[in-house]
Amino acid sequence: MKKYLVALFFYVTTIICAQYDVSAGMGLHFFSSPDLRDYINSNFSASDDLASFNTSADFFAEIGYNLNDNYQISAELTYNIFSYNSNFSSGVYDLQLAQYKPSIIGYYVINGLNYKFKLGGGLGLRFAEVEEKLYGTTEGYSTTGFGLLLKAQGDTRLGGNFYAIIAGEIRYELPGEINTLTEGTFNLNSFGVGLKLGTVYYF
């Protein structure tokens, strides 16, 4: 009887765990933030203007739950960092921007032999932290908002339950408004596209 109970336990555990996957990786985010660009270019850029589109780094982790063979819901956390510095007539200016982007994403999943393709969209809260340095003075600010994303992801089997990830996404972020060293305000709203690489393990 004990053998049957143990076998049943492992069978049920396998069925439950087979519904999950965990992934992690990093990528590049190309974004346009008009208010941020205008703030820097008007006050601190000298001849080093901030471009209309800029590059930042993404680091992400995600856990997904398979509702059935074709639909999945997942929770993702992306950590995004961007920095800018310049030498201008009044001194050295440095800006560091860090954003935490948790999202709930719904996917439509296509399963194939040794691959999976996911297409989905989601939304979530956005937490932004800005640090400015000027004249030896450092000021920090934070704000909270929300964001939306569309995502397409392809998973290719590496071996066993491990897959390689390549994903592309479009994001519209509304993290809110911050105060600044110049005693003004600007918002961090942005539109961007991203490319992510990583690995995923299917339980």
pLDDT in tens, 100-135: 999 999 999 999 989 999 999 999 999 999 999 987
Domains and CATH numbers, the chain: 2-202 (2.40.160.20)
The 10s digit of each residue's pLDDT in 11-60 is 444 444 458 999 999 999 999 999 999 988 888 877 778 899 999 999 99
Per the prediction, the chain carries an average pLDDT of 88
pLDDT of residue 78: 98
- In this prediction, residue 4 has a pLDDT band, given cuts at 50, 70 and 90, of very low
The 3-class secondary structure across the chain, one letter per residue, is: CHHHHHHHHHHHHHHHHCCEEEEEEEEEEEEECHHHHHHHHHHCCCCCCCCCCEEEEEEEEEEEEECCCCEEEEEEEEEEEEEEEEEECCEEEEEEEEEEEEEEEEEEEEEECCEEEEEEEEEEEEEEEEEEEECCEEEEEEEEEEEEEEEEEEEEEEECCEEEEEEEEEEEEECCEEECCCCCEEECCEEEEEEEEEEEEEC
